[in-house]
Structures are given as C-alpha cells and as structure tokens.
Structure 1
Amino acid sequence: MSSLVLQSDFGLDDGAVSAMYGVAVGVDPALRIHDVTHNIPPYDIWEGSYRLAQVLTYWPEGTVFVSVVDPGVGTERLSIVARTSTGHYVVTPDNGTLTHLEAIFGIDEIREIDETRNRRPGSEESYTFHGRDIYAFTGARLASGATSFEAVGPSVDRAALVRLPANPPEREGDQVRGIIDTHDVRYGSLWTSIPRTLFRELGIAHGDRVTVRIHHHGSVVHAAQLTYAHSFAAVEVGESLLYVNSLDRMAIAINRGHYAHAFSLGSGSSWRVTLEAAR
C-alpha cells in the first residue's frame, strides 16, 4: 500500500477536505492519508502545479498525489492520472496542473480516468465535486492497490497534455534569465525558475554582488544589487540577498523581511527575472 497525498484550493473552513478523506477511508480504512496543502489560492492552477513540484521527490516512489484545483469542473476537460519519471502518480484534472512536474522531473505516461469504473458509487449525477467523487476515490483505489495504473483507463498522448505557458530558464552571454515561479508564502522570498547549475555558469562566487532585474509584461519594474550568500545569516537584518533555495533554484529575499511585499512583486510566467554579475 502506498501513501495518498492530497492538495486542493478548498481551504479548511468547511467539510470539503474531510469529505475527500472520508471517501478515501471508505475505499480502505488502512490508507495513510496526508496533505500537501489546501490553501492554494482559489482557481490558481499555476500555484497548484508548483507546490506539487516542491514536494514530489521527498515522498517514496509509488506515492499517489491527488491535486484538485479545478475551475473547469463540469466541462469537457479530462480527468487523468499521470505517472512521473520519478515513479510517482498524480490524479488531477488535465488543466495545466502537471506543468512544473513535467518540466522538472518528466512524465512517462498519462491515462484518462474511466469514470464508469473509477467513480464513487451513487455520485453519477454529481457534477461539481469531482475532487471527492472521482479524484479522491480513484487516488485511494490506486494507493490501496484496489486498482492498477493500467486499469485506470485508456492511455492519453502526452503531446495532448494541457500545459501552462512558461519560458524555460536560459543563459545569454553574461546573464541568466527565468521567471518568478512563486513566493515563499510566509516569508516573501522570490523563488525563481533558474537552477543553481545554470547560475553557476556565470562564475559568480558567494560574497559577490549580483544585479537583479525584474520585468513585468516586458517592462523593468524592479532592479537591485544583492549579495550572493549561503544563507540569510550572511547578511545584516534588513539586507537583501540572492541564495539557493530548497529546490536548488535561485531565490531573492530580505533577511527578516518580505521581499515581495516590499517591492509589490508578483509571480507567474509574466514576471521575468535576470541575474548577472554586478559591474
């Protein structure tokens, strides 16, 4: 039996998440059920995509994730299960939720959920809570071994997968470019898509100064020179820094401050960032 890990934008103010737990336990009372988060901002598929990538490989191979950020519930969008190249499974609507997992880890195979076999009995006329009736139910069956990945439903061409728009990080001359993927929610750091390995190609050492420019819809909205540091303690309280975050990507922060709030900066594919050695 594998663990079942749930994520949604439902919050914890009502019984939606509890209902998903109940359906899963009804499939198998011995299931181990855990959470990524249920505080994804409402309808924010991009954020849901990123948070899956943040945690995926810290869970054992075979773990089943259920991610429900589904503003298109009741439409023709597909319900799918993906097997990642790391050997994990993700049950989700096909609406872009797999964007970061595919880009960072790879996806080997996708199957459409056959709802005639993988749907909570008695829910056939319910069209607004697929997180409970289809995704939690299918995820629990998969994690408990009541069904196999192959039995979930027919294979789907990976080329047809819905992807959110995102430019891959790149180097051009003495500069590396990426996007602000997300914020460190509580502390306001800007987590970029630029891998440490790409940044290292610039030859910048710890203690060196780095010029950061942030563009929004093509215009520079913020620029600064920061110290490239091992950690927050390497700079004074209130001082900004560039560092490598827990996902081995470059991040920007203020020691004991909130960078995103301080400079009114957002996240997503429209927020571009460039890094280069300060001159």
Structure 2
Amino acid sequence: MKDGAVSAMKGVASGVSPQLKLYDVTHEIPAYDIWEASYRLVQTAPYWPIGTVFVSVVDPGVGTDRKSVVLLSKSGHYFVTPDNGTLTLIAEQLGIQEVREINEAENRRKNSGESYTFHGRDVYAFTAARLAAKVITLAEVGPKLPNQVVTIPYQKASFDKNEVTGAIPILDIQYGNVWTNIDKKIFNQLNVNIGDNLKVRILRNNEKIYEGTVRYVNTFGEVQEGENVGYFNSLLHFSLGINMGNFSEKYSVYSGNQWSIVLSK
C-alpha cells in the first residue's frame, strides 16, 4: 500500500478481465516473512467461496530457480505463489489436490521477459487472473508436479507427560495478544477448568523468554485490567493476552516458526 506495486498487480488482473472481483488479504506482512504469509493464507482461505484464487507474493528468492506454482487445495481454493514455504500450512490444513508449475512461456505478461524482480505483477497476478477468468484451465497453467510443496518446520501441538506443547505462529498484532496452534482437543487433555491458573513457558529456539502463570478465562472482561489471561481466540486456538494491555510488548514475546510454548497445570 506504500507504492504502486499493489495497484500494478490489480491493473494486470483487470487487463485480463475487467469483470474480475479483486480483494486484499493483507499488505502488511513484514518483508521476507514467508512464515507469516503462510499463516495469513490459512487464516483467511477457509472463509472464501470454493474456486477463489489467492495470489501470495512474499518472495525473497524472486528471479532464482525456486518454482512458481499454482496449488489447488482439497477445499477447492487456488493459490498462486512461489513454492518457498508459503504453502506450508495450506498443504497441511486444507490438503493438496493438485500442484502445477507455471509455464512462463505461456503464462507471463506480454513483453515482461526482461524483468526479473517483480513476478507478482508479471507472472502471478497475470496467471491468477487468467485462471479466475477461465481464460485457462488448471491443466493449462503448466506441467503437473508431485503433490508436495516446500515446507517450513515448526512445533506441532501435542500433549505429553501432563504438558501441552505448541507453536506461536502469529500475533494478534493490533492488541499484542499471542496466538498459538493449540486447539481445544489437545488443550482439554490438561483437564483445566475456566478460572484455573495455568503455568506457561515460552521459548525462542529453545531459549526461555517468558515463564509465568495466567488465568484461564472465556474473555478479557472476566479479570481485572492489566491481568494476564489465557483464552481461546476466534480461530479456537489457545492464546495469551492482558486485559487492556499488550502481552507481546510487555514480555518481548513474538511469533514465527522458531517460537514455542509449553502449558501445564
């Protein structure tokens, strides 16, 4: 949103078909943060209609030999992106129905062959628009690839020896709340009730950053202002916050595949 890049991509798509409906997911992902791109896709895609085409361009390897692909998920959504880890969570949570490598000889904006640093405009927006407008079929995108993509390693949620372990994939950035990948099914193995206290340990690359106790509640208003809480967010994943405060800033806790969390009674 800071320059003309987004508008240029929308212009390319509109040039394929003015009837296309174009929407924004986000343009606020930190530079080069492939992991956050992966999370924002899986956070968003399930709420869009089957057949929606997503374009994701967080591409520090632009112009190199990393593949440009279109993935069709088992949920029926299309993702046009570099295969650089961006599809980690889509592949895992929505499943892979088919993957095609973009054939740039056929699916690249006309007269853009000498440009190597803006594939979002020249390849991804153009291919996605052609696919969404039904100018091409998925088979015409390019050669079929095995149903696998480049993935980013991270801590999966699990229960073992009276502890629940998970990752901190993202922050609720507006408020500084800390979101985890721990769902209720795994969390409930702790046998914790609303109002109970939880022990929390947070690590970055296995180095302890925070250790403390939070109260497990349904919502922030159940505690005093400034009190730490544990709760389930709108995606039904365990999260940490402070009523009318910023947990992330207060404790220097951030997010990404290198961050993990351990919960116990």
- Asked if Structure 1 and Structure 2 have the same fold, meaning a TM-score greater than 0.5 normalized by the shorter chain, the answer is yes
Residues 119-154 of structure 1: per-residue CA shift (max 9 Å, x gap): 111111111110001000011111111111121111
2:37 pairs with 1:37: no
Residues 168-195 of structure 1: per-residue CA shift (max 9 Å, x gap): 1111021110111111111111111111
Corresponding residue number in structure 1 for 2:108: 119
Unaligned runs of 5+ in 2: none
Aligned ranges 1:158-197 → 2 under 5 Å: 158-159=147-148, 161-197=149-185
Structure-1 separation of matches of 2:166 and 2:210: 15
Corresponding residue number in structure 1 for 2:202: 214
Corresponding residue number in structure 2 for 1:235: 223
Preserved CA contact (<8 Å) 2:67 2:83: yes
One-letter code of the match for 1:138? T
Query: How far is the alpha carbon of 1:208 from its aligned partner?
Result: 1.4
One-letter code of the match for 2:169? D
Please state whether the residue corresponding to 2:71 is helix, strand or coil.
strand
2:236 pairs with 1:248: yes
2:124 pairs with 1:135: yes
Corresponding residue number in structure 1 for 2:146: 157
Structure-2 separation of matches of 1:269 and 1:15: 31
Please state whether the residue corresponding to 2:140 is helix, strand or coil.
coil
Identity of aligned residues (%): 48
2:60 pairs with 1:101: no
Please state whether the residue corresponding to 1:101 is helix, strand or coil.
helix
TM-score w.r.t. length of structure 2: 0.97
List structure 1 segments (4+ residues) > 4 angstroms apart after TM superposition.
none
Query: How far is the alpha carbon of 1:232 from its aligned partner?
Result: 1.2
One-letter code of the match for 2:102? I
Preserved CA contact (<8 Å) 2:155 2:260: no
Structure-1 separation of matches of 2:207 and 2:259: 10
Aligned residue among 261, 266, 274 for 2:254 = 266
One-letter code of the match for 1:271? W
One-letter code of the match for 1:125? E
One-letter code of the match for 2:13? A
Structure-1 separation of matches of 2:95 and 2:133: 24
Please state whether the residue corresponding to 2:169 is helix, strand or coil.
strand
Query: How far is the alpha carbon of 1:197 from its aligned partner?
Result: 1.5
Please state whether the residue corresponding to 1:23 is helix, strand or coil.
helix
Aligned residue among 193, 199, 205 for 1:205 = 193
Corresponding residue number in structure 1 for 2:42: 53
Corresponding residue number in structure 1 for 2:4: 15
Structure-2 separation of matches of 1:272 and 1:168: 9
Please state whether the residue corresponding to 1:158 is helix, strand or coil.
coil
Aligned ranges 1:61-100 → 2 under 5 Å: 61-100=50-89
Structure-2 separation of matches of 1:268 and 1:38: 18
Please state whether the residue corresponding to 2:262 is helix, strand or coil.
strand
Query: How far is the alpha carbon of 1:216 from its aligned partner?
Result: 1.9
Q: CA RMSD in A?
A: 1.0
One-letter code of the match for 1:54? Q
One-letter code of the match for 1:36? V
